[in-house]
């Protein structure tokens, strides 16, 4: 896996290219559908057919509802990771932000029971605290990588370990419960028989898709990830862009943690543990390059849906948990192979 130092010695931009990798306006061709972000679609159909054939419960309303909830939580986290990956960086700490951000808010809001502080009287303030914590941790990571020039992979790995320890220290390994309704509604409520969390994730997906494809700053992310030296020559403030994606990534990880905490109406100290590996797997499945400069949030979300569906089929088939974990690892390797063969990660 390449780290953020991959782009320190970059080659000059190829003749005929532009610093900003804008999305082409032409129609889709067969070659487009062979790309990893589109190749996931027929695989999704195959998995759905297999799941329905193996177990009639697979297509039941309750199962589909649960799939949408799980997909929403992981999709929001993966979209945050995708933004960071597009710029050629890594953020392993997102899974700790996923767990810590809602935990800090609940810890400060809940009364003294369970060792909490009860500092906040307003549940709305507690809800806002979730996103503030995510943004602050993202900014901290940005300072480590942008200002102090730390390797993004190692720096965010250290942050992940640090925050996991903080989570355990705050709760002494206990589970926080009795969350205010404003923190549980996003993960539990439904609209038109669809999970509210799914609609929230859909809004985030549409907003980020438009941002990356239509907004000048969004296109800058691809330029920074594809060739940071050329991006600087083009007048792009590379460090500011990277700092921004770390902050946005932290906020999205906090939102994803809030959705899951709301769904289970509690915050265990292990909330989000090992989830970053699923996010990486989904991003790679969706055609996001680990070398930066390539990928879409729509493709990443397609990877999330595929991963959740495969895991759901395995669970309904009573496959042991350790084999499900092994399957996820195998999926990552297959996705990397496809990415390598397709040329999406040249030099990886």
240-263 confidence digits (pLDDT tens)? 999 999 999 999 999 999 999 999
265 sits in the region (left: phi over 0; alpha: psi -120 to 50; else beta) called: left
In a domain, 5, yes or no: no
Q: What is the pLDDT of residue 19?
A: 46
In a domain, 16, yes or no: no
Lowest mean pLDDT among 24-38, 119-133, 304-318: 24-38
| 116 against 69, higher pLDDT | 69
CB-CB contact of 213 with 23 (8 Å)? yes
pLDDT of residue 326 exceeding 60: yes
Percent of the chain with pLDDT over 90: 64
Q: What is the pLDDT of residue 13?
A: 45
Strand pairing class (190-191; 266-267): unpaired
- 194 phi and psi, to 5 degrees? -115, 145
pLDDT in tens, 64-114: 999 999 999 999 999 999 999 999 999 999 999 999 999 988 888 775 444
Cα–Cα distance between 88 and 242 in angstroms, integer?
9
Cα–Cα distance between 257 and 281 in angstroms, integer?
18
pLDDT of residue 45 exceeding 90: yes
Whole-model pTM: value is: 0.86
In a domain, 4, yes or no: no
Query: Which residue, chain included where needed, has tokens 């003749």?
Result: 15
| Mean predicted confidence (pLDDT) in 226-237 | 94
In a domain, 19, yes or no: no
pLDDT in tens, 152-186: 999 999 999 999 999 998 888 888 888 888 899 99
In a domain, 18, yes or no: no
Cα–Cα distance between 322 and 174 in angstroms, integer?
25
Percent of the chain with pLDDT over 70: 84
The total of structural domains in the chain comes to 1
| Mean predicted confidence (pLDDT) in 310-330 | 89
274 sits in the region (left: phi over 0; alpha: psi -120 to 50; else beta) called: left
Q: Which residues pair with 177 in a beta bridge?
A: 266
| Mean predicted confidence (pLDDT) in 271-275 | 91
DSSP H/E element including 266: strand 266-267
In a domain, 25, yes or no: no
In a domain, 307, yes or no: yes
* 193 token code pair: 């028989």
| 51 against 111, higher pLDDT | 51
CB-CB contact of 94 with 279 (8 Å)? yes
The CA-atom distances, in angstroms, between 227 and each of 63, 221, 293 are: 44, 10, 8
| Mean predicted confidence (pLDDT) in 4-24 | 44
Q: The domain spanning residue 76 has which CATH number?
A: 1.10.3470
Q: What is the pLDDT of residue 110?
A: 72
CB-CB contact of 218 with 211 (8 Å)? yes
pLDDT of residue 12 exceeding 50: no
Q: What is the pLDDT of residue 4?
A: 44
- 177 phi and psi, to 5 degrees? -130, 180
pLDDT of residue 348 exceeding 90: no
Quote the mean pLDDT of the chain: 86
Domain that holds residue 202: 31-342
CB-CB contact of 178 with 110 (8 Å)? yes
Long-range (24+ apart) CB contacts under 8 A made by 209-214 are 209/296, 209/297, 209/298, 212/23, 212/86, 212/296, 212/297, 213/22, 213/23
* 296 token code pair: 């879409």
DSSP for residue 9: S
Cα–Cα distance between 265 and 176 in angstroms, integer?
9
Burial pattern 30-64, b for ≥16 Cβ within 10 A else e, equals eeeeebbbbbbeeeeeebbeebeeebeebeeeebe
């Amino acid at each position: 896996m390449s780290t953020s130092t991959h782009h320190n010695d970059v080659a000059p931009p190829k003749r005929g290219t532009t610093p900003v990798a804008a999305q082409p306006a032409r129609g889709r061709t067969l070659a487009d559908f062979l790309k990893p972000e589109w190749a996931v679609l027929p695989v999704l159909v195959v998995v759905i057919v297999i799941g329905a054939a193996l177990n009639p419960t697979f297509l039941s309303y309750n199962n589909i509802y649960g799939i949408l909830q799980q997909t929403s939580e992981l999709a929001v986290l993966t979209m945050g990771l995708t933004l960071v990956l597009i710029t050629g960086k890594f953020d392993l700490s997102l899974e700790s932000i996923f767990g810590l951000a809602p935990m800090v808010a609940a810890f400060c809001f809940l009364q003294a029971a369970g060792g909490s502080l009860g500092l906040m009287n307003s549940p709305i303030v507690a809800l806002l605290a979730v996103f503030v914590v995510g943004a602050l941790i993202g900014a901290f990571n940005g300072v480590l990588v942008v200002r102090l020039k730390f390797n993004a992979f190692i720096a965010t790995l250290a942050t992940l370990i640090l925050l996991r320890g903080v989570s355990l220290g705050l709760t002494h390994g206990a589970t926080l419960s009795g969350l205010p309704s404003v923190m549980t509604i996003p993960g539990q409520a439904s609209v038109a028989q669809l999970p509210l969390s799914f609609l929230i994730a859909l809004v985030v997906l549409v907003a980020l898709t438009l941002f990356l494809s239509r907004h000048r700053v969004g296109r800058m992310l691809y330029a920074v990830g594809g060739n940071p030296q050329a991006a600087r020559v083009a007048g792009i403030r590379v460090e500011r862009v990277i700092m921004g994606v770390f902050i946005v990534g932290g906020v999205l990880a906090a939102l994803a943690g809030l959705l899951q905490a709301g769904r289970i109406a509690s915050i265990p100290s292990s909330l989000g543990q090992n989830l970053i590996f699923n996010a990486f797997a989904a991003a790679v499945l969706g055609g996001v390059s680990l070398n930066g400069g390539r990928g879409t949030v729509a493709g990443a979300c397609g990877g999330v849906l595929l991963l959740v569906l495969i895991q759901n089929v395995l669970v309904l088939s009573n496959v042991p948990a350790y084999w499900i974990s092994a399957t996820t690892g195998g999926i990552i390797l297959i996705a990397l192979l496809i990415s390598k063969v397709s040329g999406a990660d040249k030099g990886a």
